[in-house]
Amino acid sequence: MDFAVARRMMVDGQVLTRDVFDPDLLAAMLEVPRERFVPPAQAALAYLDRNLPLTPDGSRCLLQPMVLARLLQAADITATDHVLDVGCGTGYSSALLARLAGSVVALEEDKDLATFARRVLRELAPQVEVVEIAQHHLLVQTNTKLHDRTVEEVRKLTEAPNDSSIKGIQRK
């Protein structure tokens, strides 16, 4: 499978058709290899227009491309923003954010997902700091760095958000 072609088809057929036009976000989605952020057995499914389970019980998923793109576009992230990505899963959203923001801290409560994210991001977005949720409590108590954006991903999403229903984006 040619993943570069699959990425282009994802952006052209799923993202652009849903009113996502931010050029920096579109460039990031064309650059970041989504197939690297799913278990290897699911790599061929990475560009489908659906949520992909990341855990055996399906309680955590990689958001379908259009939903994530609309969420990130609504966040209006700039190159000077400091972003806290809550529930980063395997790190795909964090890798996209790393191409849009000044800095990204990725929080994840699931140890296996955090380990997966750390491994992939070390290669594809080494500037992203992955913090497991147990460490997050220390971060909140001791870190004085403010974040301009917080992107909180939902675990399961059954329908695409409209512009007025996108939640989980907080501007500080």
What are the boundaries of each domain within the chain?
Answer: 3-171
Fold of 3-171: Rossmann fold (3.40.50)
Nearest to 72 by CA among 148, 172, 156, 153: 153
Q: Give the whole-angstrom CA distance, residue 172 versus residue 21.
A: 24
**Residue 78 corresponds to which amino acid?**
T
The confidence score (pLDDT) of residue 133 equals: 77
Helix 23-31 × helix 65-75 angle, to 10°: 140
The pLDDT value given to residue 37: 97
SS3 of residue 43 by DSSP = helix
Task: Return d(Cα 31, Cα 62) in angstroms, integer.
Answer: 17
With tokens 């989980």, the residue in question is 168
Contact 90, 116 (CB under 8 A): yes
Distance CA 33, CA 45 (A): 12
What's the confidence (pLDDT) of residue 171?
A: 45
Residue that has been written with the tokens 């389970």 in this structure: 53
- Count other C-beta atoms under 10 Å from residue 45's C-beta: 15
Q: Which residue positions in the chain have pLDDT lower than 70?
A: 134-172
Tokens encoding 28? 């990031």
